[in-house]
Chain A
Amino acid sequence: MSHLSCERTGAEIMCEALIRHGVEVIFGIPGGAIMPFYHALPQYETQLRHVLCRHEQGAGHAAEGYARASGRVGVCVATSGPGATNLVTPIANAWMDSTPLVAITGQVSSALLGSDAFQEVDFVGLTLPITKQSYLVRDANDLPRVFAEAFHLATSGRPGPVVIDVAKDAQKSRLTPNWMVRLDLPGYADHRLRSVDLAGLRETVDLLATAERPLILAGYGVIQSGAHGELIEFAERTGIPVATTLHGLGAFPQDHPLSLGMAGMHGGVHVNRAIQRCDLLINVGSRFDDRVTGKASTFARSARIVHIDIEPAEMGKTVRADVAIIGDARRVLTALTAATSPRCAREWLAQVRSVQARHETTAMYGRNADVDLTPHDLFAGLRRALATRDDARVVTDVGQHQMWAAQLLEWRRPRSQLTSGGAGTMGFAVPAALGAAIACPDETIWVVVGDGGFQMTNQELATIAQEDIRNLKIAIVNNGYLGMVRQWQQLFEGRRYSGTRLSSPSFARLAEAYGIRGATVEHRDDVDAAIAAAWEHPGAVVIDFVVEREANVFPIVPQGRAIGDMMTGGSRDVVSVE
């Protein structure tokens, strides 16, 4: 076995580098320029599991799902040219959602670079704006350092994707690797290692002492830094209610008395109103995305804003920060809790709760007697099933079902909700759930996906079948439309349903064709039994829930408006809830 001697091929060094960096699973598809790597892979099969996907986009999202479920780096592999370009969407998705991802691609031999060779694409050039860093490796001697830098960059500071593009001749060359490498990153600072900014901390403590209507907004940074315990301690010590972003769902348990729920375009009325009324907003680990802020200049207009984030470039980017604390959420929250006196904001919380009682999101979803199955019947059933289990996670795609899941399910623990947020990538859910199911073999992964998004990556059902993934259950919210676009067309474009009607195959029979159990549910009375049967079935399941066709997501803030300007479902008018 060549890997027992000192000399290795570049491809063997790539495999060993992955193992050295703790990688156990990789998702990919072989092709010409990455063949030396695949030739080496069987030597390491006891340490590196390779999951053969059906499309590189699926491999990339699977690696993202693996990363987001486990908190570890996701790794995907593709060949040059079209194999690599198919990875662009998951890399962009990982960039927008700060997911640690290492994408390894084969490249044509270095002598052919720049000659428009077969399957040559400048992948480093293509991915420059959507990666933390990208490497083209022509000399295999560089591989140990490049892998060390890539894994360090992907996981540290604000995590993100890194591309390693390796020329075919570098994969084939033979050399003795030097693993004693020094990271060559003179411009890169890991802000997790910085001491907490004492001046910002003192200012925040002073603001906390006088605030009457304080509010915490928790984002994915809380989950990334493992700070959910520290967030509970801080909220309980100060009595401050906690709202979250979409990615922040699970950062604070929703069965906690201080939990308010999700803010933003489809946030609760009471949450958005609280943001517009609060006099102190403490943002922990959210980047003030426009889906959270609405019209940024009007966001939290009465508040002093404390922004805690590991990424200095987020400070003041969209929303002003009166106090900016750059650092790891966990360390900052620990320091803040220690420096703050116990207090409570009972009167303020009571105000918020009274608004919530009048504007419960669930109450906005009325029932039309002629409809056998509304989306909300399905989500109520799923919520009942999930209420009794702490061994399940939910992966959602992008669109109406994503927002219904965010609003109507109860999120109690970090990493229990996986979704595509910043990029809004339809087709994310099925492959991401495949990755999550491999990362968490003792848990059940539920996919909630629309009929549109399902058909963008459903070829990964073959991967699920081939890998014998059993802990994965797919609920298709099938309304025969690209539903969120249709909803916007209905509400904002005079019901002109342009390009949004979908006709689909029988999803149950499609699943059966892949050797996966399929079922169809058309009536609310059958929801609970179908979910229970899927849970008990020792294999993957696809359930096609054929739901009301033109149900809408409420509340909704029209794009570009202040987050207090909402359509609440009772009327199509936009009303101020501030």
Chain B
Amino acid sequence: MSSPSNDSPVHTLIVKLHHRPGALDRLVGLLRRQGCVVTTLSFAPSHEPNLADVTVMFRGGHAKRVAQQAQRLVDVVEVGERVG
């Protein structure tokens, strides 16, 4: 898979995760499998207990499919996406 070019659009994925071992690994692994290149990633415990908020900005991949596949992950509680 060729790397996305620097002028390809940046997508933002906003995910609420069940904060437990492996949850972030699965999300990052999903981005890799879908051909995305992560440009920024932030991870912080949520104000809700045992949950975490993740914001990922990435280029490449198929944004809608990434969001759908993220929702499929058992530890993902909520997914939002934004283009640009």
Shortest Cβ distance from residue A556 to the other chain B in the assembled complex, whole angstroms? 28
CB of B72 within 8 A of chain A?
A: yes
State which of A128, A153, A187, A188 has its C-beta within 8 Å of the C-beta of B22: A128
Check B77 against A129 for contact (C-beta < 8 Å): no
Shortest Cβ distance from residue B31 to the other chain A in the assembled complex, whole angstroms? 12
A184 and B51 alpha carbons, distance in the complex (Å): 12
Check A186 against B68 for contact (C-beta < 8 Å): no
Check B72 against A185 for contact (C-beta < 8 Å): no
With A128-B25, A129-B29, A316-B64 as contacts: A186 and B18 at CB distance below 8 Å: yes
Q: How large is the interface on B (under 10, 10 to 19, 20 to 34, 35 or more residues)?
A: 20 to 34
Q: Which residues of A have CB within 8 Å of B78?
A: 187
CB of A315 within 8 A of chain B?
A: yes
Check A187 against B76 for contact (C-beta < 8 Å): yes
With A124-B22, A187-B17 as contacts: A313 and B74 at CB distance below 8 Å: no
Shortest Cβ distance from residue B26 to the other chain A in the assembled complex, whole angstroms? 5
Q: Which residues of A have CB within 8 Å of B75?
A: 133, 187
Check B22 against A185 for contact (C-beta < 8 Å): no
Shortest Cβ distance from residue B28 to the other chain A in the assembled complex, whole angstroms? 10
CB of B55 within 8 A of chain A?
A: no
Shortest Cβ distance from residue B51 to the other chain A in the assembled complex, whole angstroms? 7
CB of A114 within 8 A of chain B?
A: no
With contacts defined as CB atoms under 8 Å apart, how many contacts are there between chain A and chain B in the complex? 47
Check B33 against A186 for contact (C-beta < 8 Å): no
A side interface size, CB within 8 A: 20
Q: Which residues of B have CB within 8 Å of A312?
A: 68, 71-72
CB of A311 within 8 A of chain B?
A: yes
Question: Which partner residue on chain A sits nearest B78 by CB separation?
Answer: A187
A440 and B29 alpha carbons, distance in the complex (Å): 39
The residue among B22, B69, B76, B78 with the most chain A CB atoms within 10 A of its own CB is B22
Check A128 against B74 for contact (C-beta < 8 Å): no
A interface residues with partner B (beta carbon < 8 Å): 124-125, 128-129, 132-134, 136, 153, 184-188, 311-313, 315-317
B interface residues with partner A (beta carbon < 8 Å): 17-18, 21-22, 25-26, 29-30, 33, 50-51, 64-65, 68-69, 71-78
20 pairs, CB–CB < 8 Å, chain A vs chain B: A128-B22, A128-B29, A129-B26, A129-B29, A129-B33, A132-B74, A153-B74, A184-B18, A184-B50, A186-B18, A186-B50, A186-B77, A187-B18, A187-B74, A187-B77, A187-B78, A188-B74, A313-B71, A313-B72, A316-B68
Known: A128-B25, A185-B18. 12 other contacts (CB 8 A): A125-B25, A128-B22, A129-B26, A133-B75, A136-B21, A186-B77, A187-B18, A187-B74, A187-B78, A188-B74, A313-B71, A317-B68
